[in-house]
C-alpha cells in the first residue's frame, strides 16, 4: 500500500447492488470519507476552513479504475496520497484495498482533484498558508 494513512470501511447492504457486489459509484464516497479523515488527522477542520478562511474545497474531477469487486461484510482500507499540491488545488491518489486472510487486494484506484474556492462566488482561491503547512506536514 502506498500511504501511511489509511481509513477502514466496512461494507453494508446500503453499499451493494443487485450484481452482488459494491455499487461502483460508492467507491467515490469511500474515497471522500478517507480524504475527510486524512484532513481531520492533519488537524484541518472543514468548518474552520469556511468560518476562518472563507474558503472550501470542491471536487473538480474524479477518475476511477475498478480492478476487482468488494462484497457485503468485506473490510476495506482506503488510502490517501497527495500526488500534486498546487496553489489552489490538490490532486489525490487514492486506493481501495480489501483486507482479508488472503492478504490485501487492490479493488479500485482513484485520482481526485479538489480545488480551493471562496465560499461566496465559488471562484478559485489560494489555499491558506496555515492549511498548506498542515497538508505538507501530513505527507
Stretch that binds a second copy, among 29-37, 78-86, 90-98, 125-133 (CB under 8 A): 29-37
Q: Are the CB atoms for 70 and 107 separated by under 8 Å? A: yes
* Min dist. Cβ of residue 26 to a second copy (A): 8
The interface with a second copy within residues 42-101 (CB under 8 A) comprises 45-47, 56, 58-66, 69, 71-73
Q: Are the CB atoms for 112 and 92 separated by under 8 Å? A: yes
Q: Is 32 in the site for a second copy (CB under 8 A)?
A: yes
Q: Where does the chain have alpha helices with state H?
A: 26-41, 46-53, 129-138
Residue 17 a catalytic site member: yes
Query: CB-based contacts of 35: which residues, under 8 Å, 6+ apart?
Result: 80, 92, 94, 112, 114
Nearer to a second copy, 47 or 129 (CB): 47
DSSP 8-state symbol, 121:
T
- The C-alpha R_g of the chain, in whole angstroms, comes to 16
The interface with a second copy within residues 98-137 (CB under 8 A) comprises 122
The residues binding a second copy (CB under 8 A) are 10, 12-14, 16-21, 23-25, 28-29, 32-33, 36-37, 45-47, 56, 58-66, 69, 71-73, 122
Amino acid at each position: 500500500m502506498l500511504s501511511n494513512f489509511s481509513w477502514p470501511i466496512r461494507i453494508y447492504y446500503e453499499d451493494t447492488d443487485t450484481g452482488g457486489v459494491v455499487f461502483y459509484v460508492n467507491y467515490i464516497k469511500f474515497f471522500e470519507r478517507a480524504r475527510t479523515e486524512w484532513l481531520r488527522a492533519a488537524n484541518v477542520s472543514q468548518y474552520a476552513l469556511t468560518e476562518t478562511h472563507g474558503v472550501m474545497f470542491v471536487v473538480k474531477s474524479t477518475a476511477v479504475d475498478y480492478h476487482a469487486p468488494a462484497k457485503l461484510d468485506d473490510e476495506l482500507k482506503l488510502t490517501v496520497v497527495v500526488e500534486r499540491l498546487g496553489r489552489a488545488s490538490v490532486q489525490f491518489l487514492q486506493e481501495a484495498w480489501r483486507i482479508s486472510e488472503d492478504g490485501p487486494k487492490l479493488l479500485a484506484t482513484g485520482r481526485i482533484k479538489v480545488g480551493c474556492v471562496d465560499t461566496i462566488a465559488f471562484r478559485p482561491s489560494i489555499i491558506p498558508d496555515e492549511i498548506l503547512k498542515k497538508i505538507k506536514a501530513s505527507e
